[in-house]
Amino acid sequence: MKKRIATAFLLGFCLLSLFRLWAGSPASAEEKGAQKEKTSGLTFLPVIFYTPETKWAFGGGGLYYFRLTKYKSVSRPSNIKFIAVYTQRKQTNFEVNPDFYLAKGYHIQTNFQYSDFPDQFYGIGNGTTGDMEESFTSRFWKLSLEALKKVHGPLNVGFQYFFDDTKLTEVKDGGLLESANIAGSSGGKVSGLGYLMTYDSRDSIFYPTAGSFHQFSAMAFGRTLGSDFAFNRFYLELRKYVRFSYAHCLAFQSRFLFQTGDPPFWRMGLLGGSEIMRGYYLGRYRDRNMMAVQAEYRWAPIFWRFGLAAFAALGDVAATLGRFDLGRFKTTYGLGLRFVIDPKQRLHLRLDFGFGQGTSGVYFTAGEAF
């Protein structure tokens, strides 16, 4: 969810920057000096993007930034982002994302989300077929909290909490979700608490070309925390960026999700989407466990502000670790176009064409997939 709101906000920022680029109205020296001295401000942005899961999406958002400490060692300002979006598939989404940077290396990030979301369900497992597709609509609100403390260089440790309350307002007559044999088919609450560790040595959060980003989390969900479902969740993400020159970069990412117990179907590992395994509908394959790796070659800019990207990935889902079979992993590949909105911050608009096994997807949004 944090990725979604960050991407939507980035796209709004890119649209505003694009308007300024075409309008040709750079700030004066006095205005630039005033901007540097400001310690708080409020900005409203338009939002527009396209993915196979949403089709065209329109809305608006904003950012209020400020400083909670006068310590110069805290280089990033605190901020509160908010986004409201309505999609071509009649999906409604509203998110608020407070992000606080405090003294002595403390960082607290929260996310509140409400969504009324028509979606597709294909069953559970890595062998489901396209004719198993059934539509459903879920209405949910979510809360997540992460509290981290910098312990050494780029290493941060802390805890996280997650809660969501989901109701299925519409399911297919005679479908799998109506049969109540799927965990979560009657809706319910999910509540969990866990440990979080990150290592972030990237040279940029918008367009990293060097360094690494790694994240590990372990969470327990149970009735003592108010959850209707009992399960444990372990997540590991590894990223590495290799720069050959200013315009050329090779990026690698891997994701590993392992779960025990009985998570509801909406909290299982979902294959596909605009970030990894592009070309597959998000949730086309889902199960307790998921593995996925991808690589992307980025060349931007090539000419003026235009660039290219090429990517490939493989991944799969499985009920248990022993059921993963490398020979049956799904594969995707694709090409992308890039438009550099802000050369200094390396902010990009991206248009990706992803191709899987008998499927494809088009993605128009802001920022890189990872």
- With 0-12 / 13-18 / 19 or more C-beta atoms within 10 angstroms meaning exposed / middle / buried, residue 218 is middle
Stronger pLDDT, 94 or 39, i.e. the higher one: 94
Residue 212 has pLDDT above 50, yes or no: yes
H/E element, 308? strand 306-318
Question: Contact, 83 vs 8, CB < 8 A?
Answer: yes
Region 115-127: mean pLDDT is 93
* 3-state DSSP helix/strand/coil % of the chain, to nearest 5: 15, 55, 30
Residue pLDDT, tens place only, 154-175 = 999 999 999 999 999 999 998 9
Region 313-333: mean pLDDT is 95
Q: Which band of pLDDT confidence, cut at 50, 70 and 90, is reported for residue 190?
A: very high
CA separation (Å) from 34 to 24, 28, 41, 62?
20, 10, 12, 21
Domain spanning 2-366, CATH architecture = Beta Barrel (2.40)
Task: Give every CB contact of residue 2 below 8 A, 6+ residues apart in sequence.
Answer: 97, 109, 111, 144
Residue pLDDT, tens place only, 270-281 = 999 999 999 999
**E-strand spans in 153-226?**
155-171, 188-200, 211-221
Stronger pLDDT, 18 or 253, i.e. the higher one: 253
Predicted local confidence at residue 205, as pLDDT: 79
Region 4-25: mean pLDDT is 53
Region 210-226: mean pLDDT is 96
Point out the least confidently predicted range of 30-34, 106-110, 227-231, 240-244.
30-34
Residue 7 has pLDDT above 70, yes or no: no
Q: Can you give the pTM of this predicted structure?
A: 0.85
Which tokens in the block code for residue 317? Answer: 């889902």
Stronger pLDDT, 341 or 29, i.e. the higher one: 341
- What are the domain boundaries of the chain? 2-366
Query: Is the bond preceding residue 264 a cis peptide, omega within 30 degrees?
Result: no
Predicted local confidence at residue 130, as pLDDT: 87
Predicted local confidence at residue 349, as pLDDT: 87
Q: Which long-range contacts (CB under 8 A, 24 or more apart) does 273-277 make?
A: 273/51, 273/53, 274/7, 274/51, 274/352, 274/363, 274/365, 274/369, 275/3, 275/369, 275/370, 276/313, 276/315, 276/369, 276/370, 277/313, 277/315, 277/330, 277/332, 277/354, 277/356
Stronger pLDDT, 2 or 105, i.e. the higher one: 105
Q: Which residues pair with 315 in a beta bridge?
A: 292, 330
Region 302-330: mean pLDDT is 94
Percent share of the chain, pLDDT over 90: 63
Residue pLDDT, tens place only, 64-93 = 878 777 765 556 678 898 899 999 989 999
